[in-house]
Amino acid sequence: MKMETVVCDGVAHLTPYLPGKPIETLQRELGLTEIIKLASNENPLGASPLAQKALTTALTELHRYPDGSGFLLRQALADKFNLQAGQITLGNGSNDVLDLIARTFLTSGCNAVFSEQAFAIYPIVTQAVGAQARVAKAYPADHAMPYGHDLDALLAQVNEKTRLIFIANPNNPTGTWFERLALLDFLQAVPEQVVVVLDEAYTEYVEDANFPDGLALLAQFPNLIVSRTFSKIYGLAGLRCGYAASSAEIADYLNRIRQPFNVNSLALAAATAALGDDDFVQRSAEHNRLGLKQLRDGVRALALSGLPSVANFITVDLNQAAQPVFAALLKKGVIVRPVANYGLPNHLRISVGLPEENRRCLTALAEVLA
């Protein structure tokens, strides 16, 4: 029997998510020791010290199941953002939350709308449940937000079978964003039976006063779900913890299919502590602002240009195929991220690292391009 004949259609033709290359893999492959990884938009400052301290205590309780309701973390999120705990759904990373949303709202015969060059998980979770993807054109390369979300184009893709729209602000892999008024106009125009998933994985990095806060819009738009993560500014990517905030009604549905212990006890303890570490978040945002400038200036000095970004990475147009440059950088112990799978074969995405890591990456890039 051919397994392909019995595997769900969507799964049979799925291309899996391509993660950034782990440091250990490159070590194994090339025997290098001095490796830097600027490939997965992680926090170069590490994890919040308060989170690290909370982990030490949580280690003594490893033999117990986690609190399946995530009571303390949900309450802490609710208190911080002026929500009810019943509006929060916890996930094993925000990818888990995006998957829960797709499984809650999509089946075959209906569709999800998202943009070209939008985060790679949206097509995967859509296809995995057998739903159709309706992909809106992104802004063109010569737009002020090159490859960014065109909210009008997204709206134009909505039809009577649309259940979800995924948008990311800022978006990965572009770093582009949309402002508050544009988002408000968009949300007002979306039919009320279509659920909008606003992915705010990088929101804590953004310092622009016109940048929207999705959580503040939940009361006004019952069809809005905001997803966020502890993987980026809180520095807890390895622990896997994210969350969705929505109406209590939507959260109730999401929680029906959530695995009872999807967030482990270490992640719960660390995320709860990290949420209260405003000092670390502030330091991380400041560090990122300087790092982005360092990378942007460095790229400009190489006569290249980076896409506008308010996230913790910059996506650079090399004006040539990026794959060989990526491979040559690997040989120099520098891991960045090719984004050909996003339809950007000439671009590389570089995460903000420590100042010396950014410098080393820029030097290696200059040598490879020379």
Considering only the stretches 90-98, 256-264, 328-336, 340-348, report the one whose residues sit in contact with ligand PLP under the rule CB under 6 A: 90-98
Q: Nearest distance from residue 303's CB to ligand PLP, in Å?
A: 28
Binding residue for ligand PLP, selected from 47, 50, 77, 119, defined by CB under 6 A: 119
- Give 16's contacts (C-beta < 8 A, 6+ positions apart): 124
Q: In 338-362, which positions are buried (b, 16+ CB within 10 angstroms) versus exposed (e)?
A: bbeebebebbbbbbbbeeebbebbb
Say whether residue 94 binds ligand PLP (CB under 6 A).
yes
CA pair distance 42, 337, nearest whole angstrom: 13
Q: Tell me: does residue 229 bind ligand PLP (CB under 6 A).
A: yes
C-alpha–C-alpha distance, residues 143 and 125, integer Å = 29
Q: How many residues bind ligand PLP (CB under 6 A)?
A: 13
How many degrees, rounded to 5, is the angle at CA 343 between CA 329 and CA 100? 100
Site string for ligand PLP, 187-226 (x = CB under 6 A): ------------x-x-------------------------
- In the block, tokens 């209906």 appear at 110
Of 126, 176, 231, 255, the one binding ligand PLP by CB under 6 A: 231
Q: Between 137 and 176, how does the x/- string for binding to ligand PLP read (CB under 6 A)?
A: -------------------------------x---x----
Helix (H, G, I), strand (E, B) or coil at 243: strand
DSSP 8-state class, residue 333: T
Nearer to ligand PLP, 231 or 272 (CB): 231
Smallest separation, CB 363 to ligand PLP (Å): 26
Q: How far is the CB of 98 from ligand PLP (least distance, A)?
A: 7
Nearer to ligand PLP, 230 or 332 (CB): 230
Q: Which stretch binds ligand PLP (CB under 6 A): 89-97, 104-112, 153-161, 359-367?
A: 89-97
Pairing of strands 344-351, 337-339: antiparallel
Q: Give the H or E element holding residue 298.
A: helix 278-301
Angle at 231 between CA 56 and CA 256, to 5 degrees: 90
Q: How far is the CB of 315 from ligand PLP (least distance, A)?
A: 12
- The Cα–Cα gap between 126 and 13 comes to 12
Q: Does 326 bind ligand PLP (CB under 6 A)?
A: no
Q: What are the tokens at 295?
A: 């990378």
3-state secondary structure of 228: strand
Stretch that binds ligand PLP, among 23-31, 93-101, 105-113, 286-294 (CB under 6 A): 93-101
Query: What residue ranges bind ligand PLP (CB under 6 A)?
Result: 41, 93-95, 119, 168, 172, 199, 201, 229, 231, 237, 242
